[in-house]
Chain A
Amino acid sequence: MGKKFEITNEIRKLRFFADEMTQQQLAEKAGVSRQTIVAVEGGKYNPSLELAFRIAQAFNVPIEEVFQYRAIEKKKKSNKKGDQS
């Protein structure tokens, strides 16, 4: 069956290790509004490839350290199906 994937990020952790960089500072470095950084960090908005690179560049790390592409585990659904059978 086709797996579902999601994009996760480590922006909060990277901001912490960058001397507790504020979202405002990151927004300035990436050239976007603070609201966009809040949405990206909270997983509410998946940035374009260009913005993803700009965020990675702001932390001086490769892009895969900031964003990850992971499979979503369907625990709840599989449990329910198991209960029914």
Chain B
Amino acid sequence: MTYQIARTITRMLSGTVLLIIYLVQVTSRYQSGVLGMNELQSLAQLMLVFIGIGIGVTIAVEIVFHILYSIGIAVKESVKAGSCNDKDIEKEIGKNIEKNIKQDMVEDEMAKLIDLKSLRVGYVTAGIGFITSLIILVLGYPVFLMVNILFGSFFIAGIIEGLAKIVYYTRGV
């Protein structure tokens, strides 16, 4: 698995977990009566909290992922060299590890093109979510549901964007 695919899967997983936690929170609060159909203010508070959590979690996941990925490369290189001594890693393999990590994390023209194309897929998904939320409102469903569909569509758009990225990386652009 390449760096880009592994990174995309990690992001997708964290996004999916956040979406599930949000849905569980909203459902449980709604069932317990804390959130009502007309209490958009508390719903907006919850959403803002989740946006904040989402940013924090994304940063934390990125940091942990890069640390683990770098460790993975270091282990692979040291196994390849047939030695696991700290001195050897520092002196002989160290440069190789650094070079490999840098080489893997290069964002070249293909990565940029895939980013653009998958972003377009994400925008389309978010757009469909927006239209669906409007239809829901027109059909007479409460604003509570409309706002949740809108919010959820952004999370789903992020996940679908990740899926599109994986498809582009595996099948080609």
Residues of chain A touching chain B, judged by Cβ–Cβ distance below 8 Å, are 24, 27-28, 31-36, 39, 42-45, 47-48, 51
Contact A39 B103 (CB under 8 A): no
Contact B106 A33 (CB under 8 A): yes
Shortest Cβ gap from A6 to chain B (Å): 13
Shortest Cβ gap from A48 to chain B (Å): 6
Shortest Cβ gap from A1 to chain B (Å): 27
Contact A35 B4 (CB under 8 A): yes
Contact B173 A44 (CB under 8 A): yes
Closest to A32 in B: B108
- Which residues of chain A are near B99, meaning CB under 8 Å? 28
- Which residues of chain B are near A24, meaning CB under 8 Å? 103
- Which residues of chain A are near B111, meaning CB under 8 Å? 33, 36
- Which residues of chain A are near B109, meaning CB under 8 Å? 32, 36, 47-48, 51
A44-B172 contact, Cβ under 8 Å, with A31-B108, A33-B108: yes
Partner of B173, one of A28, A33, A45, A51: A45
| Total A-B Cβ pairs within 8 A | 45
Q: How many residues of B contact A (CB 8 A)?
A: 15
Closest to B172 in A: A44
B contact patch SS: helix
Chain B 6-64 interface residues, beta-carbon cutoff 8 Å to A: none
Contact B110 A32 (CB under 8 A): yes
Partner of B103, one of A27, A43, A48: A27
A42-B106 contact, Cβ under 8 Å, with A33-B111, A35-B2, A35-B4: no
- Which residues of chain A are near B106, meaning CB under 8 Å? 31-33
- Which residues of chain B are near A51, meaning CB under 8 Å? 108-109
Complex: A28 Cα to B103 Cα, angstroms: 7
Contact with A along B160-171 (1 / 0, CB 8 A): 000000000101
- Which residues of chain A are near B2, meaning CB under 8 Å? 35
Contact A34 B173 (CB under 8 A): no
- Which residues of chain A are near B172, meaning CB under 8 Å? 39, 42-45
